[in-house]
Amino acid sequence: MDTINENQFKEIYDYIRNNFGVSLKRDDRRILTNKYNKFLEAIGVDNFKEAYTKVANDTTGEYKRIIADIITVNYTFFMRESQHFSYFKNEVLPYLKDVVKDKDLRIWCAACSSGEEAYTLAMIIEEFFINENLFWDKKILATDISSKVLEKAINGIYTLKDIEALPINWRFNYFNKISENDFAIRKEIKDNVIYRRFNLMEEKFPFKKKFQVIFCRNAMMYFDSVTQKKVLKKFYDNTEKGGYLFVGHSEAINVEGTGYKCVKPAVYRK
């Protein structure tokens, strides 16, 4: 397979940063070369010049989708950073129940990966509104840039190991066993999550209504500070007054100048 020289690395670096917001580590050439060669295999060429020409002239967006699938990390699991889910259940949902008069919850799970986070939120909401489910619109928008992980999320099938961190009653109430090792999210939960492919680098977010809650955890850690600030501004503009933004605990997010105020570690409020 082809190798990457310094000029090619810069072209790839700039393309990925400009299109996906991801700032590659310049000292991590081996990993990038591996990802780059996976891309060459995927599009059926064996050299940088031909690959770059195909990408530059692609009007369908297909090569861009392939690159997104290859470069994204997509690491997640059920109940990751469980403190956030406790806060969402015990503080955020009671607040929303009091203030949302039209009973229309608007929650966005950005960078949702393979669906574990979005389905966890859906199960919490289902349990919280157990006696009022018929009266509330509880649909969650879940987006990611990778088509590959969205396909898994939409399928909603997970292994026994995947769901072992969930409460036993959730495993019983919200999953159907389809084999000795595979479990499928039940329809009533699945129907409350709408999956879409979406790139956070879009100049403007196309949403008609603002969200009461946005989860975007462990995605902005791959952005540089300039890109982070632009994305945070777009999140803020699409958050209702009093609404919440959840980010990953390991992310060094600077919200100064955005209008968000920190209410607890990795939780911000407009």
pLDDT digit string (tens) for 195-222?
A: 999 999 998 899 999 999 999 999 998 8
pLDDT digit string (tens) for 52-74?
A: 788 878 888 888 888 888 777 77
> What is the three-state SS of 171-238?
HHHHEEECCCCEEEECHHHHCCEEEEECCCCCCCCCCCCCEEEEECCCCHHHCCHHHHHHHHHHHHHC
Could you tell me which CATH number the domain at 6-71 has? 1.10.155
- Mean pLDDT throughout 223-232? 92
As given in the structure block, the two tokens for residue 65 are 């989708």
Instruction: Tell me which residue of 146, 131, 142 sits closest to 213, measured CA to CA.
Output: 142
As given in the structure block, the two tokens for residue 215 are 């989860």
Report the predicted TM-score, pTM, of the whole model to 2 decimal places: 0.89
Task: List the chain domain ranges.
Answer: 6-71, 82-269
**Has domain 82-269 been given CATH number 3.40.50.150?**
yes
